[in-house]
């Protein structure tokens, strides 16, 4: 039964044009064609099904998956490690704390020096506006040049595990969750999704989650609403991408300053705190100048600004306004749950609790999405590769 299903998925994959993904990086979802995104979802599905059938999709006999996290991370770290391990790559942390990167080495040299046997480089660099994506691009260009110059036998590909602009492994996992919940990508046309700001007692949460969501969800014919209080604007260039996506997908992209309006009749709600874009730019500059007093002052201002919007909480009252009162509640986790992880936060405890299992399920797609990104950057004919894996059918557990 499930083998038949896997075969159908492989057939579907074979019809998609994934040529440009081969030996290429995954930095923004909007760099990719619709067929390419479809291929990611399809490969993620195949991998999940194979694993459930106890068939090992190990395609690497050796090779390193380098991880570089500029920020603490449990979930993304384990998702990346799980993806690498499933395919046969060993994770090696490039820890700037213990490495000489901190001692003024150029990015180009380090990127090449660690990559002699690396197949993949996963980077999370979401802290500073204008820096994360730039850094990833620099690493990708460095190893591309190294490969062209004959320094690197293979071309390691870069996977964006969260930058200042996009968070493709998150938004793609979110999207796969939506697809599976609503019964297929073809069911999404006309569905209303509300990406809304929510209050959090902490500050400075990255913008890449809402940006990733509006930059991706607008491609499926859905009505996407972005809601936030004044002053919490996201990057204008990403809003422009969302507008263009909506126009060509037959959906819509709108903005509102009211959480309640966004929730009205929504099929999906994604209430989540983020920092004001302008403030994050300012913080980046202050860090650059080493102005700690300025940073402290800014933090105080931002917390005060946040506190003016404590009413932006995903309550039962708001949920009742959604389609049949039963919208799918989403979050990238961890959430600030009122009365549980903080006094007042992004979501009421009873709402969170009712959606706990779907939220965990949403998160469970990430290792497969990352593995799919790796897979499609390494195999020119992915459908053939899967077919041969299926023919061999090595057990994951004996």
Residues 320-379 interacting with a second copy (rule: CB under 8 A): 333-334, 340-341, 357, 360-361, 363-364, 366-367, 378-379
16-55 binders of a second copy (CB under 8 A): 48, 51-52
For a second copy, the closer CB: 109 or 301: 109
Q: Residue from 36, 63, 203, 205 that binds a second copy (CB under 8 A)?
A: 63
Judge whether 42 and 13 are in contact, CB under 8 Å.
yes
For the bound state, the minimum distance from the C-beta of residue 39 to a second copy, rounded and expressed in Å, comes to: 18
Question: Could you tell me the smallest distance in angstroms from the CB atom of residue 88 to a second copy?
Answer: 7
CA dihedral (175, 67, 236, 266) in degrees, to 10, reads 20
Q: Which is nearer to a second copy, 90 or 297 (CB)?
A: 90
Measured in whole angstroms, the distance separating CA 261 from the mean position of its chain's CA atoms is 26
Bridge partners, residue 12, by sequence: none
How many residues are listed for the chain in this entry?
398
d(CA 216, CA 60): 30
We find the least distance from the C-beta atom of residue 339 to a second copy, in angstroms, to be 13
CA distance 269 to 100: 44
Beta carbon nearer to a second copy, 20 or 148: 148
* Residue 254, CA distances (Å) to 24, 248, 257, 361 in order: 33, 15, 11, 28
Rounded CA-CA distance 26/173 in Å is 14
Query: Is there binding between residue 88 and a second copy (CB under 8 A)?
Result: yes
Residue 368 beta carbon to a second copy: minimum distance, rounded to whole angstroms = 9
Nearer to a second copy, 51 or 323 (CB): 51
- Return the residue of 14, 22, 35, 73 that touches a second copy, per CB under 8 A: 73
Site for a second copy in 100-129 (CB under 8 A): 100-101, 103-106, 109-110, 112-114, 116-119
- Minimal CA–CA distance to 69: which of 96, 88, 46? 96
Residue 238 CA: distances (Å) to CA of 123, 160, 216, 268: 21, 16, 10, 21
User: Quick one: DSSP state of residue 115?
Assistant: -
Given the complex with a second copy, which of 87 and 222 has the nearer CB atom? 87
Question: Which residue, 196 or 385, has its beta carbon nearer to a second copy?
Answer: 385
User: From the CB of 232, what's the least distance to a second copy, in Å?
Assistant: 22
237 binds a second copy (CB under 8 A): no
Dmax (CA) of the chain: 63
* Residues within window 141-170 making contact with a second copy, judged by CB under 8 A: 146, 149-153
Location of structure tokens 């999404």: 188
Residue 1, interface with a second copy (CB under 8 A)? no
Q: Which is nearer to a second copy, 9 or 214 (CB)?
A: 9
The stretch near a second copy (CB under 8 A) out of 121-129, 217-225, 319-327, 389-397 is: 389-397
68 Cα distance to chain centroid = 16
């Amino acid at each position: 039964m499930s083998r038949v299903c896997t075969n159908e998925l492989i057939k579907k994959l074979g019809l998609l044009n994934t040529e440009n993904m081969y030996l290429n990086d995954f930095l923004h979802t909007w760099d990719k064609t619709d067929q390419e995104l479809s291929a990611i979802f399809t490969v993620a599905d195949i991998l999940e099904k194979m694993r459930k059938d106890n068939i090992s999709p190990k395609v690497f006999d050796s090779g390193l998956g380098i991880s570089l996290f500029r920020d603490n991370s449990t979930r993304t770290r384990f998702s990346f490690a799980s993806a690498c391990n499933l395919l046969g790559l060993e994770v090696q942390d490039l820890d700037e704390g213990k490495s000489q990167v901190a001692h003024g080495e150029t990015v180009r040299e380090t990127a090449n020096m660690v990559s002699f046997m690396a197949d993949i480089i996963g980077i999370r660099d979401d802290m500073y506006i204008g820096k994360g994506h730039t850094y990833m691009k620099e690493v990708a260009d460095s190893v591309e040049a190294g490969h062209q110059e004959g320094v690197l036998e293979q071309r390691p590909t870069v996977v964006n595990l969260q930058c200042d602009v996009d968070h493709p492994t998150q938004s793609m996992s979110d999207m796969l969750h939506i697809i599976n919940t609503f019964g297929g990508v073809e069911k999404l046309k006309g569905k209303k999704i509300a990406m809304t700001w929510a209050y959090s007692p902490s500050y400075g949460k990255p913008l890449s989650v809402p940006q990733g969501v509006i930059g991706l969800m607008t491609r499926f014919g859905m009505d996407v609403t972005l809601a936030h209080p004044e002053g919490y604007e996201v990057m204008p260039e990403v809003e422009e991408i969302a507008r263009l996506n909506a126009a060509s997908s037959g959906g819509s992209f709108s903005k509102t300053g009211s959480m309640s309006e966004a929730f009205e009749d929504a099929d999906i709600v994604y209430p989540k705190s983020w920092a004001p874009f302008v403030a994050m730019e300012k913080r980046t500059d202050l860090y650059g100048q080493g102005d700690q007093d300025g940073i402290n002052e800014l933090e105080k201002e931002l917390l005060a600004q946040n506190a003016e919007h404590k009413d932006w909480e995903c309550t039962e009252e708001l949920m009742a306004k959604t389609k049949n009162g039963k919208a799918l509640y989403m979050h990238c986790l961890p959430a600030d749950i009122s009365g549980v992880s903080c006094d007042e936060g992004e979501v009421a405890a009873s709402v969170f609790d009712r959606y706990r299992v779907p939220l965990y399920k949403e998160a469970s797609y990430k290792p497969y999405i990352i593995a799919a990104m790796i897979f499609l950057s390494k195999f020119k004919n992915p459908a053939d590769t899967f077919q041969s894996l299926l023919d061999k059918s090595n057990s994951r557990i004996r």
